[in-house]
Amino acid sequence: MLNTKYLYLFFAIIFAMFSSCVNDPAKVNLITKKNNLPILTEKNVDAIYSDSAKLKFHFTAAQVDEYEGIDSYQEMPKGVKVEIYNDSGIIETKLTSNYAIRKIKENKMVAKNDVVVVNSKGEKLNTELLTWDGAKRRIKTDAFIKITTSDQIIYGTGLDSDERFEEYEIKNISGTILLKDLPK
C-alpha cells in the first residue's frame, strides 16, 4: 500500500512538471523576435550615379531605410523616382513608383504600387509591380500592364524589356485599342 501512495505521488509530480511547461506562442515570439529596424534612415535622398564621367542615373526618394544582414536591402516606403540618361546626358527613361525595395547583393530593385515608366518615345508603361535586374539591365513583370503609345493602348499580363523600355515584349496581350478609332 505504501508503494502505491508513492507511485501516485511520483506520477502527480511528473504530471505537474509537464503540464506547467506549456509556452504561450505569442510570448515566445515576443521574446525571440528579432528587431528589424533600419540601421540608417535618410530623408529627401537625391543621388546621381555616373560611369566614366558620364551621367547614368538620377535617383530621388523622400525616404530610404537601409537594413543590414545576410540579405541587406534598402527600402523606399514613400516612393522613388529614377531617371536614366543616354551618353549625351539626355533623359531617356523615367520610372516612378509609390514603393520600392533594392536588394543590394542581388543587384535588383522591385517597384510596387502605381509604377509608371516613360521612355524617350513617350511610350508609357503602367503596372503595379516591376523588377529591375541591374546585372542583366532588364525590367520585367508578371503583373497586369497597360502600355500607351502615340497611336494605341495595349493591355496585357507580363512584360520583359531592356531597362530603357525601348525594346519590350508583352507576354500575354489581352487587348489593344487604336486611338484613331476612339470618338473625338
Mean pLDDT over 174-179 rounds to 83
CB burial readout 146-179, b (16+ within 10 A) else e: ebbeeeebbbbebbebebbbeebebeeeeeeeee
Question: pLDDT tens-digit profile of 4-15?
Answer: 666 565 666 666
* Domains detected in the chain: 38-181 (2.60.450.10)
Question: pLDDT tens-digit profile of 92-141?
Answer: 999 999 999 999 899 999 999 999 999 999 999 999 999 999 899 999 99
Task: pLDDT band for 58, please (50, 70, 90 cuts).
Answer: very high
C-alpha cell at 88: 549625351
Q: What is the pLDDT of residue 16?
A: 58
Task: pLDDT band for 87, please (50, 70, 90 cuts).
Answer: confident
C-alpha cell at 105: 547583393
